Amino acid sequence: MNEPNPPAEKRRQHEHAYWEALRARAYALRAEGKTHEQIAAELGTALSTVSRWLRQPVVRAHVARHRRIGELARGGWSNAAIAAEVGMRADSVCKIRARCAEAEVLAHGHKGEAPAAAPLDVLDRAVRRARIVALSEAGLNNSQIARQIGVTPSSVCQMLARARRQSKAASVKGGETGNGAQLRSSNTMSDTKECPFCLETIKAGALKCKHCGEFLNAASVAVTVALAAAPSPTPLPQAAAPQPVMPIVLEAGQVPDLLIHLVDKNLIVYEEDEHGQGCYRLLETVRQYARDRLLESGTGEAGRTRHRDYFLALAEEAKPNLQGPEQARWLDTLESEHDNLRAALEWCLGDQREGDQRNAVSSAEAGLRLAAAVRSFWWTRGHLSEGRRRFAAALSHPGAQARTKTRADALNGAGVLARTQGDYALARTLLEEGLAIGREIGDKQGMAIALGSLGIVALEQGDYASARSLLEESLALRRTTGDKQGTAVALGSLGNATLEQGDAASARPLYEQSLALYRQMGDKQGIAIALVSLGLVAHEQGDTAWARALYEESLAIRREIGDKQGIVGSLGNLGALACQEGNLAASRDCFAECLTLCRALGEKRVSAYALEGCAALAQSLEQPDRATRLYGAADGLRAAIGVPLTPNEREKGEGSLAALRATLGAEAFDSAWAAGRALTWEQAIACALEENAP
């Protein structure tokens, strides 16, 4: 069997989705009271096409009418009485009753009188069987059908065998009971058939009804026939007394068949990620239309609350897995659901209904929990600015002011993101409030997180005494609570404080302990951090080969899990090492990628290091004026964000600056330094990216 042409199939799906979206828009415009001519002009389509689209809601009325006919028939009404009741011809009623009877026979697997009320699960099986037959006719094998339907291949085989037996029995019976009149009718009408939706006569080979516009594939027909045969739970409402719209709650067993039907209609797209996990996605135009209809129905609030609760549970399930062996999969899951997480957060912060203060507080609490749960995802995948905006909105919500553990967790998360972007004043304020709440409520874990983050703020601002005191207190609390992941973080931070004071030998065992804990937990992000730290020790001690191996291993891990925040650090380290070894082309490439990513992330602290690396590269290329300007730009950025050079870095930098001053002369050096210092962060990065090629 020839495989379908993928590009052609994809093009066909896109065209179908486009026309479905136009049809949905036509319904909306008609609901606004516009005429067919006005709708055709606005959509840029033919008037006949619009008219055909707008007849399609009649199909839904046909289904409702079929239900009503089935109710009356079960109540003992004659065809003539039913025809008078529903406003149809008696022969049409007869045809519909026959079709409903066939559906009930299919559902129950026997002939004769069907029960008065066919269970929905039985009808679901009938629809599923029809879907399996349609897929088999399309050329799919039993395994492929089983994957699409969600059953075992053996069940598919049994259902197809049963369908073949029923088809054979029906054809035999038809041959035995046929008469001359039926044969003549078959011969004269062989080129026509009846649309199962609107009962109009159409061509026998038609794939779509020209009257109602419905597609005539087996799945669509099976669904409509099953709906017609199903008993209505309540009498149909009279046209003069419309009933309020109630939320539709589906049973679990109804969802797969409904999704398959929507995929067939190209209203939903099925996609799989690289981990083999599938999901269903609405086309954007269809999603917007469906959302508008949901809000108009009055059930939007309940739907959005259920949506919020689901994604809050997903985020909180993901949170502990973002530091373990399943880290990459969970990061990808949150990335794919980021729009849903955004929508849930917006609903949390916008749900302030008048007169319902308790609901507003509950929703704000959910917003704080959701933001805190995805903080690590925002940090790792580089959504720093967005994360800070979300935290600010959640923390300022009137219902989120209670001094609870939830608020403390959100304050700590917001402080980490602010520190990462170099906003140390705000970071300190947020973390100190989080620490105060933790002390009030006795939350040792929350206190340890706040103390550790405050220690890193002090360390990056050059306050080594305060940094060591805060980090040691954090490490003690982590060990008391048995928090392995937190202990590894605290050990690494203490190692940084030791290394930045020039004691590489004492820093090394701290980093090795941290790495051992990360390996025990399978935390790839933590392993990469510890490898970089050990690489810094090796670099400081002059073992450049070992340093390069550690940096490259760290970068590979960070690329694997999509850790953008970590990638910039590894690139900066590799760029500096390559420059020191004289590999200027490799150094240029590393710094270019590092600065490009820093600009996208809003990462200013690493930008300062990269600018200094580009200055050293320019100095190696005998470009003293440009090197001086870049050193000046880095110094200006450090002053702006409050990140001074470490004593060790200052000592090394003074030698480079003295050499540049001697080369340029004092006046030219001061002029270039001032010009670089006057550059903004964005201008400094642009300058480095444009001019650092050898």
Classify residue 330: in a domain, yes or no.
no
Query: 152-171, pLDDT tens digit by residue?
Result: 666 777 777 777 766 665 55
What are the φ/ψ torsions at residue 503 (nearest 5 degrees)?
Answer: -105, 75
d(CA 421, CA 439): 27
Here the CATH number for the domain that contains residue 522 is 1.25.40
Tell whether 87 is covered by a domain: yes
Q: Would you say 551 and 574 are in contact if contact means Cβ atoms under 8 Å apart?
A: yes
Amino acid 301 reads E
Number of CB atoms found within 10 A of residue 643's CB = 18
| 168-187: pLDDT as tens digits | 655 554 444 444 433 333 33
CA 519 to chain centre: 29
Kind and range of the H or E element at 111?
none
Write down the pLDDT at residue 495: 92
Does pLDDT of 630 surpass 50? yes
Six token digits for residue 273: 């990620």
Going by pLDDT thresholds of 50, 70 and 90, the confidence category of residue 23 is confident
Domain boundary among 513, 545, 561: 561
pLDDT of the residue at 292: 81
Please list, in sequence order, all residues whose beta carbon lies within 8 angstroms of the beta carbon of residue 633, skipping any fewer than 6 positions away: 611, 676, 677, 679, 683, 684, 687, 688
Which domain-ending residue is among 561, 576, 606? 561
Residue 303 resides in a domain: no
On whether residue 525 sits in a domain, the answer given is yes
How many folded domains does the chain comprise? 3
Check whether residue 575 and residue 597 sit in a common domain.
Answer: yes
Residues 538 and 649 in one domain: no
Q: Are the C-beta atoms of 273 and 332 separated by less than 8 Å?
A: yes
**In terms of domains, do 525 and 660 share one?**
no
Position 557 confidence tier, pLDDT thresholds 50, 70, 90: very high
The CA distances from residue 683 to 78, 338, 610, 680, 689, in Å, are 85, 31, 14, 5, 10
| Structural tokens at position 149 | 């339907």
**pTM for the model:** 0.58
Would you put residue 611 in left (φ > 0), alpha (ψ -120 to 50) or beta?
alpha
Query: pLDDT tens digit string along 184-221?
Result: 333 333 467 666 555 566 776 666 666 555 555 554 45
Q: What is the largest CA-CA distance in the chain?
A: 115
Instruction: Specify the pLDDT at position 282.
Output: 77
Residue scoring higher pLDDT (617 or 37): 617
Q: Domain check: are 548 and 567 in the same one? A: no
Give the whole-angstrom CA distance, residue 38 versus residue 562.
50
Does one domain contain both 516 and 602? no
Co-location of 553 and 567 in the same domain = no
The answer to whether position 617 is within a domain reads yes
Identify the pLDDT of residue 118. 37
**Beta pairing partners, 270:** 280
| 135 or 379, greater pLDDT | 379
554 with 569, same domain: the answer is no
* Predicted confidence (pLDDT) at residue 98 exceeds the cutoff of 70: no
The three-state secondary structure class of 119 is coil
Cα 359 from Cα 222, distance rounded (Å): 44
- Give the model's pLDDT for residue 444: 92
What pLDDT is attached to residue 229?
43
Comparing 8-22, 138-152, 597-611, the range with the smallest average pLDDT is 8-22
Q: Are residues 534 and 631 in the same domain?
A: no
Structure tokens, 117: 């009320």
- If asked whether residues 545 and 640 sit together in one domain, one would say no
Range of the domain at 160: 56-169+194-229
Do 643 and 512 share a domain, yes or no? no
pLDDT band for position 244 (cuts 50, 70, 90): very low
Instruction: Compute the average pLDDT of residues 634-647.
Output: 83
pLDDT of the residue at 408: 94
DSSP string over 156-190: HHHHHHHHHHHHHHHHHHHHHH--HHHHHHHHHST
Q: How confident is the model at residue 66 (pLDDT cuts 50, 70, 90)?
A: low
| Co-location of 72 and 101 in the same domain | yes
Which element (helix H / strand E) includes 328? Answer: helix 327-336
How many C-beta atoms surround the C-beta of residue 388 within 10 A?
20
Q: How confident is the model at residue 108 (pLDDT cuts 50, 70, 90)?
A: very low
Alpha-carbon gap, residue 232 to 255, rounded angstroms: 19
Which of these three, 211, 229, 247, is where a domain ends? Answer: 229
Decide if 163 is inside a domain. yes
Contacts of 342 (CB under 8 A, 6+ apart): none
More confident residue, 631 or 118: 631
Q: Rounded distance, CA 605 to CA 622, Å?
A: 26
* Within a domain: 448: no
Phi and psi dihedrals of 280, rounded to 5? -105, 135
**Alpha-carbon radius of gyration of the chain:** 35
Rounded Cα–Cα distance for residues 545 and 531 (Å): 14
Instruction: Give 14's pLDDT tier (boundaries 50, 70, 90).
Output: low
Burial (CB < 10 A; 0-12, 13-18, 19+), residue 611, is buried
Instruction: Tell me which residue of 365, 389, 387 sits closest to 376, measured CA to CA.
Output: 387
Is residue 475 within 8 A of residue 491, CB to CB? The reply is yes
Higher-confidence residue: 28 or 331?
331
Mean pLDDT of 14-24: 65
Q: What is the pLDDT of residues 437-462, one digit of tens each?
A: 999 999 999 999 999 999 999 988 88
Reported residue count of the chain is 694
Residues 526 and 588 reside in one and the same domain: no
Domain assignment present for residue 586? The answer is: yes
Contact 584, 617 (CB under 8 A): yes
